[in-house]
Amino acid sequence: MKVVFAKGLVSTLSEKMRAFGELETGGCLVGTIDGNRWTILAASDPPPDSIHEPAAFERGIAGLEEWLESQFALGRDYLGEWHTHPHELSSPEPSFADLDTHVAAAKRFDRALLLVILAVSPDNPQITATIVEPDGGLLR
């Protein structure tokens, strides 16, 4: 598997991280899947009913369906989710809770899902991309 970020998308995500300071934030990812190549073309803002905490993010749903429909109309598919680990010295690796949540979602949808995590400093972002399979397998 190869995960590709559209040009400018990492800096867009950094700006979204910066906007929430010490609180985690996140949203949905859309793009294309071509064989083993996952290309991320856009990331949603956090829906306004999301819950932002220093070490947790629960994505809301307000307005998301409309955003996704607008993306599907461009020929993009839902790929998965992104969120931040914005604290000093935090790791961009998924936590056990992150993996539990995403494996459960992959099982529910019966498809592989992408989990992108952005960490540390908005000016020096570190990023991981993990593809979570319905059987709990992880691809990096």
CB half-sphere exposure, 89, CA atoms < 13 A: 0
- The distance of closest approach from Cβ of residue 85 to Zn ion in the complex, given in angstroms and rounded to an integer, is 6
Q: b vs e for 34-65, b when ≥16 Cβ sit within 10 Å of the residue's Cβ?
A: eeeebbbbbbbebbeebebeeeebebeeeebe
Residue 54 or 70: which CB sits closer to Zn ion?
A: 54
Residue 32 or 90: which CB sits closer to Zn ion?
A: 90
Residues that bind Zn ion (CB under 5 A): 95, 98
User: Alpha helices of 1-140 — where are they, by DSSP H?
Assistant: 9-18, 64-72, 96-109
Give me 33's structure tokens: 């899947």
- The distance of closest approach from Cβ of residue 95 to Zn ion in the complex, given in angstroms and rounded to an integer, is 5
Give me 15's structure tokens: 């700006």
Question: What are the beta bridge partners of residue 118?
Answer: 84, 127
- The distance of closest approach from Cβ of residue 94 to Zn ion in the complex, given in angstroms and rounded to an integer, is 6
Residue 41 or 98: which CB sits closer to Zn ion?
A: 98
Residue 33 or 139: which CB sits closer to Zn ion?
A: 139
Residue 34 or 93: which CB sits closer to Zn ion?
A: 93
Task: Find the residue with minimal CB distance to Zn ion.
Answer: 98
- The distance of closest approach from Cβ of residue 41 to Zn ion in the complex, given in angstroms and rounded to an integer, is 22
- The distance of closest approach from Cβ of residue 116 to Zn ion in the complex, given in angstroms and rounded to an integer, is 10
End-to-end CA distance of the chain: 7
